[in-house]
Amino acid sequence: MDRYIRERLEEYLAGDLGGHERADFERRLADDARAAKLLDELQNSAQLFDTLRLDESEEVELDGGFYARVNQRIEAERQVPFWPAFLQPAMVRKLAFGTLMWLFALGAVTFYSDAAGGVREQHLANHILAEQPPSEDYWVRMGSDLESNRRSMFAVMMASGE
């Protein structure tokens, strides 16, 4: 489209172009078929908008709660639902990956604690019962080592139950 036509298109549609400028604009418009078609479409659109305009004699009164209802709808649409965000494909992949990483970490900790513990749980009772109680009266020895305290208490309990 010609730059001259583009710069003066709005003025022409508004009827603000003077006699000499208007004649020059229409001459250039006659030479450019694409610009003429665009101008015709813009004039049709303007007429459609004019049909939507209310007459000055018509007065529109809105009830008191109109603006409140509009604001409520805006706020309701603005709130993002919580659960649908988790159903997005990218989020599902992230959750699945995070879950697998947690399971891997949990398995690694379990394996490491079994390997480093020395005595396994299933053999713990046999190991503790193999120790002799501290005395004939089955006194529990208490010290600063919690594991030793547990073993001593367990041994006394098992021996007194026989």
Whether residue 24 lies inside any domain: the answer is: yes
Q: 0.85 exceeded by the pTM?
A: no
Q: Which domain holds residue 109?
A: 86-160
Tokens 């009830």 belong to which residue?
63
Q: Where are the alpha helices (H) located in the chain, listed in sequence order?
A: 3-14, 19-31, 33-52, 66-78, 83-86, 89-117, 124-130, 146-160
96 and 147 assigned to the same domain = yes
Radius of gyration (C-alpha) of the chain in whole angstroms: 44
The pLDDT value recorded for residue 120 is: 53
Q: How many domains does the chain have?
A: 2
138 and 94 assigned to the same domain = yes
The encoded tokens of residue 118 equal 């020395």
Per-residue pLDDT of the chain (162 residues; tens, 9 = 90+): 678 888 888 888 888 888 888 888 888 888 888 888 888 888 888 888 888 877 777 777 778 788 888 888 888 887 777 777 777 888 888 888 999 999 999 988 887 766 555 545 546 556 656 665 555 555 566 777 888 778 877 777 776 655
What angle, rounded to 10 degrees, do the helices at 19-31 and 3-14 form?
130
The encoded tokens of residue 39 equal 């101008």
| Closest listed residue to residue 154, CA positions, set 143, 140, 144, 142 | 140
CA distance 146 to 140: 12
